[in-house]
Amino acid sequence: MNKENNKGIKKPRDENNIHYKNALIKKKQQIEEKRKKKEQEQLIKGISQEEINETTYYFENGLRRVLPYFYTFKVNAKGRWIGRTIVDVFVNEFKLCNEETTIKKIEKGLIKINNKIIEPSTIIHHHDEIEHQVHRHEPPVYCDKLTIVKETNDFIAIDKPSSIPVHPCGRYRHNTVIFILAHEGYTNLRPVHRLDRMTSGILLLAKTIQAAREFQSYMTIKKKEYLCRLRGRLEKTTVTSKIGRKRIDDKKIHVSVNEIEEDGKECHSEFNPLFYDEKTNTTVAVALLGSGRTHQIRVHLQSIHHPIVNDPIYAAQFDESKCDDEGIFETQYGGTIQWKIEEGCIECEHLKGDPIQYGIYLHAWRYVIDDEIFETKLPYWAQPNVDISQEINEFNKNHILI
């Protein structure tokens, strides 16, 4: 075949090619730098009274719910959107958008580009800012109080319940730690470390920008101890491996999962069993982290075939067609409608179901930061005389275990 006939034929990617590997490393570094920049921007901005007044909470059946409210999303055009119509992007990139509804929203001025009224045929260009006003619905979370474990002039440490994200992400905004505490008068808190939505336990927040920056620059978390309940009988063990990040990206879901991979970052976990429960064939263990990679404990336990018992991502098959970004299945909406149904709002017309699961058996139990110890009470599932067999059976019934 001559060169002319070769035009337009894409060569298969050689994943062992050194240039490809270097490009991949550079891409990951850029993503990490972008994440850090975003975190720094969040450090500067507190929560205004105007934001607090957007909505109110109400409580039902042990859950905290948010009254739907109007909110304008703003996003810069992504590379893959350039040259496409606004309708094409909305219909093919966003979960809840169809062509008819998108066109109606454009006609009502609820979707704009660069703060200007547009047509359905408008093409997206580089540097465009897209605005989308929505009637925003948030998922419920546990209504457990955010217990203050310790408070100083610079920091506040809380015992975060599972189900609550730390800061706004995805569908969550007011049902996050930052906003819940803002409603209680703490309007300028800034988290100084991470804790997953489905994980409970110690969360440290700085009261000022200066305290947050000092923590990141000078303070050291000397010891991180987590409690976990895992499948099978586990003896004392140590896991050292490299963990990398894999992203699932399509219209239905946008989620990152971690896995053992050669090009990942090396990390170290130590697991010390506290007791074994024969009835459920589970072990409660203390996990000590020598590093802090995302999902590190969950990935390491999966790698030694002792996953956290009710982990929907690392202990079961992940079905992106039925799950949210944490692998959680949804059931029917279980609350009462305490707001006026908004005409044209897809979620008002077709209420999304509530999660069937609000946490996993993973708890940030004790942190030693410099010379100060932060510790919570034991979660119920980590206590030897508590029967959790019904919870485990319910999880197993709804998932295909791996």
Active site residues: 196
Strand partners, 308: 230
Strand partners, 374: 367
Please answer whether residues 147 and 159 qualify as being in contact, where contact means their C-beta atoms are separated by less than 8 angstroms. yes
Nearest one of 267, 279, 276, 268 to 235, comparing CA atoms: 276
| Residue showing tokens 């009224």 | 117
Nearest one of 322, 327, 229 to 271, comparing CA atoms: 229
* E-state strands within 87-236: 111-113, 129-136, 141-142, 147-151, 155-160, 190-191, 200-206, 221-231
52-57: Cβ within 8 A, 24+ apart: 52/179, 52/182, 52/183, 52/187, 54/174, 55/174, 57/174, 57/183
Nearest one of 322, 402, 310, 304 to 362, comparing CA atoms: 310
259-268: Cβ within 8 A, 24+ apart: 259/299, 260/299, 260/303, 263/21, 263/24, 263/25, 265/291, 265/293, 266/240, 266/241, 266/242, 266/291, 267/240, 267/241, 267/242, 267/243, 267/291, 267/292, 267/293, 267/296, 267/300, 268/238, 268/239, 268/240
Distance between CA atoms of 337 and 340, rounded to whole angstroms? 8
Distance between CA atoms of 347 and 87, rounded to whole angstroms? 19
| Residue showing tokens 């042990």 | 62
Torsion of CA 118, 119, 125, 128, to 10 degrees: 20
